[in-house]
Amino acid sequence: MKKEEDFSEWYNEIVEETGLTDKRYPIKGMNVWPAYGWKTMLLIKTAIRREFDSRGHDEVYFPMLIPEDQFQKEKEHIKGFDAQVFWVTKAGSNDLDVNLLLRPTSETAMYPVFSLWIRSHADLPLRVYQIVNTFRYETKQTRAFIRVREMQFIEGHTCHATFEEAEAQIEEDLDIMRSVAADLCIPYRVIRRIEWDKFPGAYYTIGVDTMLPDGRALQIASIHQYRTNFSVPYEIFFEETDGSRKPVHQTTYGMSERMLGAVVAIHGDDKGLVMPPAIAPIQILVVPIPAKGNAESIYAEARKMAKHINSHGLRAHADERDIRPGNKFYYWERKGVPIRLELGKREIDEGFVTAVRRDSGKKTRISTSELIRELGILLKDMASSMLKRAEEEVKSKEFDVHDPSAIKDGYNRMQWCGAEQCGRKIEELSGASLLGTVSGEKCSGGKCVICGTATDNVVYVAKTM
């Protein structure tokens, strides 16, 4: 299946064929992670963990089950998630006294405990995160990594003494986003969600969206400012230096396996996946090219070369299977390995190796003595050209639109007065969603595309995944 012809089918095929996921598990939307997919996801988690850790956030782990009475405390939150919750109501043949639910997200698991951890000003800020699986009963059609019922989730939770400190945390979250997106070579937009589309219980929500090749927006992360919306019902109070008790200000930051879905969708081509170097389980593949009579020594050289590369902190693998080199090329190209090194007798005799880049197919001769340095340069070049190509593709999908019934595939920017009634009308006419507004983007002299009121407010409209 070609990507251009049927993106959706292409995506569904490639994620299974390349060993990223196995959808044959007998629960819809709960997929198996085979080794190649899991290794990639672990590398994404490692990149995120590094960003949190280096900024002083602590990793924690909370139980997967949440008691119903804790879940019920924040009214908006429960309304927003109620229909998606998996319940545990029995233990053996006995009904439970209090029903339990599988975490759809962990606010209601963490916050009763935060209220015990936080006593005084000295306990703030509290900045923790966890990397866990979450469960949501999705009713729309499921899709690997993008819409699943059991999801790999990274959630950061913070508590602060003031609203301003919580706002500063959100700035830091956007910093983290920049680093992680650079590793994944993914362009993204930071879009403030409109009032009726914010996270249940949030004061405001920032969506981090990326644009897929079929012109649909995909939310890959979200950041929420809670103010004291949760800390009041969950009684997360701290004692100020003057002895007064105040509720903490909270934020959360969520990222998920959707990031992997975005990587597949944005970078993959008709030959298969193209893995960003930072998250490629194998960054460099060494393929021995044997000729009659020297197979063994060439295989040994290839093994030695991979070992040498690994000892310098890069991820290399020598394919020593007894199949033709051409089949190995094809097999690993499909899995998206960034660089392939071809090593034959002539290369060994003359002290070089032939490198082939997965993204451009470009071949270069690398002198063996410069191998590690040159590989570092190639990987870096590849990452930056992957990001650049993806950014150009997104730019070609941005439109200023004045008629909501004539939207295009991609980001449609429209003038909107901000009234809910007009917003709903835009959605109805376009058949797409209001993603929200981008900080600093204004348009002078514009009129609301629905009611004609003068406005400089610009809203992003797109079909979503």
250-289 binders of Zn ion (CB under 5 A): none
Distance CA 423, CA 192 (A): 15
461 counts as binding Zn ion under rule CB under 5 A: no
Distance CA 352, CA 255 (A): 42
459 counts as binding Zn ion under rule CB under 5 A: no
Place of tokens 């930056």: 384
Place of tokens 């003031």: 162
**Looking at beta carbons only, is 96 or 454 nearer to Zn ion?**
454
For Zn ion, how many residues bind (rule: CB under 5 A)?
A: 6
For the chain, the maximum distance between any two Cα atoms, rounded to a whole number of angstroms, is 85
Cross-strand bridge partners of residue 457: 442
Segment near Zn ion (CB under 5 A); pick from 48-56, 265-273, 319-327, 445-453: 445-453
Question: Least separation, in Å, of the C-beta of 433 and Zn ion?
Answer: 17
Which of 377, 406, 451, 454 binds Zn ion (CB under 5 A)? It is: 451
Quick note: the x/- pattern for Zn ion over 402-441, rule CB under 5 A, is ---------------x-x--x-------------------
Question: Least separation, in Å, of the C-beta of 278 and Zn ion?
Answer: 44
Question: Least separation, in Å, of the C-beta of 446 and Zn ion?
Answer: 11
**Looking at beta carbons only, is 407 or 465 nearer to Zn ion?**
407
Question: Least separation, in Å, of the C-beta of 447 and Zn ion?
Answer: 9
**Looking at beta carbons only, is 190 or 429 nearer to Zn ion?**
429
Cα 225–chain centre separation: 20
194 counts as binding Zn ion under rule CB under 5 A: no
Question: Least separation, in Å, of the C-beta of 131 and Zn ion?
Answer: 43
100-103: which pairs have CB atoms within 8 A and are 24 or more residues apart?
100/65, 100/66, 100/67, 100/68, 101/65, 101/66, 101/68, 101/71, 102/64, 102/65, 102/66, 102/134, 102/135, 103/62, 103/64, 103/65, 103/66, 103/132, 103/134, 103/135
Residue 288: exposed, middle, or buried by beta-carbon count in 10 A (0-12, 13-18, 19+)? Answer: buried
Segment near Zn ion (CB under 5 A); pick from 32-40, 335-343, 392-400, 450-458: 450-458
Cross-strand bridge partners of residue 318: 286
Place of tokens 């006995």: 94
Binding site for Zn ion (CB under 5 A): 417, 419, 422, 448, 450-451
